[in-house]
Amino acid sequence: MKQEIFRARALPWWLCAPQLLVLFLFFYLPIILAFFWAFHLEQPFGGGSQFVGFANFRRVLGSGEFWSSARATLAYMVLASGSSVGTALVLALAADRRLRLSGIARNIFLWPKAVASASIGVIFVFLLNPYLGIPAPLNEIWPGLWNPRTNPLHAYAMLFVANVWSAIPFSFIILLAGLQAIPEELHKAGAIDGAGPWRRLRDIQLPLLTPQLFVVVVLEVADSLSGSFGLIDTMTRGGPGGATNLLVYKIYSDGFKAYDLSGAATQTVILMALVAVVTGAQYLFLERRVRYDR
């Protein structure tokens, strides 16, 4: 390659500028501002801010509401990512085995990708409505059998169902691609070596699928921490009684409903730190077990 073409030092920067500008405005600037506000006391309607050091953090960490939200967030992270990756894995294994109708399923499972999580939430709220939705007949027989508006467990169940549904496309396609990349001969060799389908799943397919599983788990975990906002906002609004008030949603309601901008920014910083720590830990501890040999 000829170097002369790029002799103008400024040119590459000009070419990157639009992308960098967008990244800065919508990604880095909010992060910087969140950090700034976390250490300042903000006026709700603008106009002056005052440096307060760690006062915001002391206030947030001292509130019981924050800790219950944090606990719920962690529980949701484990259960939501586990259930969505688990479901996608089962479906991908079935599609890889070429079970009946798996050709159609392969196609259909991708469709939720085209639906925003808020829309998914609205649809599932309707489907699972205790009086109008699918459980309505059951509720008539046994009143109170299903009511996510009053029962926190039901509210969580509803969130998980919607989350699994919205998370399937991505995990499914990645896992299926990984499974399909395992050569047919390995299955044959395994069968000749006496390993039945379940044994082959454990000894051959899953170990060779670890790179894809790792990617999917990391992304799903990160997504369950931040991406649950659309679902919560449309399905439970943090209720009933704050049971599903996960950190992402709490940040929003503290900031934009209670106008506690500094408190919201502080929790944003904490949530970002949590995402970073969890993701880093996965790279540190999980990635060791990934077999990249193929």
Partner 1 sequence: MTATNAPAAIGLHGLRKSYGATEVLPALEAELRGGEFTVILGPSGCGKSTLLNCIAGLERLSAGRITIAGREVQEAEPKDRGIAMVFQNYALYPHMSVAGNIGYALKVARVPRAEREARIAAAARIVDLGDYLHRRPSELSGGQRQRVAIARAVVREPQVLLYDEPLSNLDAKLRQDMRMELAGLHRRIGATSVFVTHDQVEAMTLADRIMVLNRGRIEQFATPQEIYHAPATAFVAGFIGAPAMTLLDVAGEGGWLRLSDGTVLARHRHQGAALLGIRPEQVLADPAGVPARVIYREDLGAHSVLTLQLGDGSRLQMAAGPGRPVAASSDIRIALPAGALHLFDPLTGRAFARHPVPSDAMKVQDDAIPS
Query: Between residues 207 and 227, which has the closer beta carbon with respect to partner 1?
Result: 207
Binding positions for partner 1, 31-60, rule CB under 8 A: none
Interaction between residue 294 and partner 1 (CB under 8 A): yes
User: Strand pairing partners for 40?
Assistant: 51
* List 208, 225, 264, 269, residue binding partner 1 (CB under 8 A): 208
Using rule CB under 8 A, residue 86 touches partner 1? no
Cβ-based nearer residue to partner 1, 140 or 203: 203
> Residue 103 CB, nearest distance to partner 1 (Å)?
15
* Residues 136-155: x where in contact with partner 1 by CB under 8 A, - otherwise, as a string: --------------------
Considering the complex, what minimum distance in angstroms separates the CB of residue 203 from partner 1?
A: 7
Q: Give least dist CB 210 to partner 1, A.
A: 8
Q: Which of residues 162-201 bind partner 1 (CB under 8 A)?
A: 183, 185-186, 188-195, 199
Q: Return the residue of 55, 110, 204, 215 that touches partner 1, per CB under 8 A.
A: 204
CB of 293 to partner 1, least distance (A): 4
Among 133, 152, 207, 239, binds partner 1 (CB under 8 A): 207
Q: Which is nearer to partner 1, 75 or 191 (CB)?
A: 191
Q: Does 100 bind partner 1 (CB under 8 A)?
A: no
CB of 184 to partner 1, least distance (A): 9
153 conformational bin, left if phi > 0, alpha if psi -120 to 50, beta if neither: alpha
Q: Which of 230, 272, 245, 232 is nearest to 33 (CA)?
A: 272
Q: How far is the CB of 200 from partner 1 (least distance, A)?
A: 10
**What number of chain residues touch partner 1 (CB under 8 A)?**
19
Per-residue three-class SS string for the chain:
CCCHHHCCCHHHHHHHHHHHHHHHHHHHHHHHHHHHHHCEEECCCCCCEEECCCHHHHHHHCCHHHHHHHHHHHHHHHHHHHHHHHHHHHHHHHHHCCCCCHHHHHHHCCHHHHCCHHHHHHHHHHHCCCCCCCCHHHHHHCCCCCCCCCCHHHHHHHHHHHHHHHHHHHHHHHHHHHHHCCCHHHHHHHHHCCCCHHHHHHHHHHHHHHHHHHHHHHHHHHHHHHCCHHHHHHHCCCCCCCCCCCHHHHHHHHHHCCCCHHHHHHHHHHHHHHHHHHHHHHHHHHHHHCCCCC
Q: How far is the CB of 193 from partner 1 (least distance, A)?
A: 4
Tokens of 280: 């880093």
Q: CB-wise, 205 or 244, nearer to partner 1? A: 205
Q: Which is nearer to partner 1, 4 or 185 (CB)?
A: 185
Residue pair 239/155 in contact by the 8 Å Cβ criterion: yes
CB of 290 to partner 1, least distance (A): 10
d(CA 27, CA 151): 37
Choice between 128 and 208, CB closer to partner 1:
208
Interface contacts to partner 1, rule CB under 8 A: 183, 185-186, 188-195, 199, 203-204, 207-208, 291, 293-294
